[in-house]
Amino acid sequence: MSARPQSANSWQYRALNALTPGLDHFSDALLDEIAAGVPIVAGTADLQYSNGLEKFARLAPDRFVQFGISEQNMVSAAAGMAACGQSPYVATFASFLALLCCEQIRMDVAYSKLPVRLVGHHAGISLGFYGTSHHATEDLAIMRAIAGLAVVAPSDGNQLRSLIRAARDWAGPIYFRIGRGRDPEIYGTPPVLEIGKGIERSTGRDLTIIATGSTVHPADLAAKALTEAGHSVGLIDMHTVKPLDAALIRDVAGRTGQILTVEEHNVLGGLGGAVAEVLADIGGSVRLTRHGIMDEYSLIAPPTHLYHHYRLDAGGIEQVARGLLS
């Protein structure tokens, strides 16, 4: 069994909790939903101090379920809750949720078309020293391939709140891919958005960067630096990876020189693969470059070091883009 924090007093829990203050947005958004009359139930697999649900558990204890270290059971139980008219949000590390619980997500949730909200936190390589067993660099590919399952990746806490609000009107299941609560703020207030519709933050003739989740902020900094250097570089925040905003991609492909996708994920099967599928369907000539983690198991190191190594920080993304522009 993979090692993980066991007690709220353990040093692992304290360390993770110190990294996740921004995840208050998660609890706050769910509490807002309760206030709006949505029958929210939240559950976690012994990780409420890591995903911010500790606040929800304190303020709405009758709507919180602590499943312990039983992620697969948690997903199946959430399906049962949804079948009984509740609106369950269940959360654990993205690596456990997408890989360990894939069968339960496919059969109990998605096949049954139940409105379960699956929240995979500490996605990508954000767990750093916890190693390969805790890194989620395949989850977008796995979740995208499950029929009827929407996949969203908010870029900051305010966008997470907006997506949870938008989920109120979404009939089917949703996989939320979120970080570790240290995401820099991009949106000062929860933005108005729609699941399945990307946000074009800027336009560019030479290059358009399409980013999702944790890579939107560094991609934004890279795009601004390149624009200041005289290039015409646009940026799309593709917060919904499935259903993908194909119309926006087709539009961008007709007015930009090339496209660079950026994701904290394997370049196979994730955002880059999804964009490639759209471009293949339209048969255009725009050049696509997929940037992320190549087909390999990620290294073990502090997250900041890993982002630098894989060129997923602002400087690295700018470097990759400059190579394309030259």
Q: In this predicted model, what pLDDT tens digit does every residue of 3-52 receive, in sequence order?
A: 444 444 444 444 444 444 467 899 999 999 999 999 999 999 999 999 99
Reduced to 3 states (helix: H, G, I; strand: E, B; else coil), residue 247 is helix
Q: Which residue has the higher pLDDT, 281 or 183?
A: 281
269: DSSP letter: S
Q: Which residue has the higher pLDDT, 205 or 21?
A: 205
The whole-angstrom separation of Cα 43 and Cα 57 is 9
* pLDDT score of 139 more than 50: yes
- Asked whether residue 181 carries a pLDDT value surpassing 90, the answer given is no
pLDDT tens for residues 232-286? 999 999 999 999 999 999 999 999 989 999 999 999 999 999 999 999 998 878 9
Q: In whole angstroms, what is the distance from residue 169 CA to residue 165 CA?
A: 8
Q: What is the pLDDT of residue 19?
A: 43
Residue limits of CATH 3.40.50.970 in the chain: 11-177
Q: What is the CATH number of domain 199-325?
A: 3.40.50.920
Crossing angle for the helix pair 216-228 and 314-325, nearest 10 degrees?
A: 50
* Residues of each domain in the chain carrying CATH 3.40.50.920: 199-325
> Confidence band (pLDDT; 50, 70, 90) for 96?
very high
Give the CATH number of domain 11-177: 3.40.50.970
The encoded tokens of residue 267 equal 């370049």
User: For residue 137, which of 31, 44, 265, 258 has the smallest C-alpha distance?
Assistant: 265
Q: What is the pLDDT of residues 48-71, one digit of tens each?
A: 999 999 999 999 999 999 999 999
Q: How far apart are CA 264 and CA 211, in angstroms?
A: 9
Alpha-carbon dihedral of residues 158, 159, 164, 165, nearest 10 degrees? 80
Strand pairing report for 287-293 and 258-266: parallel
Q: Which residues of 33-71 are buried (b: 16+ CB within 10 A; e: fewer)?
A: bbeeeeebbbbbbbbbbbbbbbbbbeebeebbbebeeeb
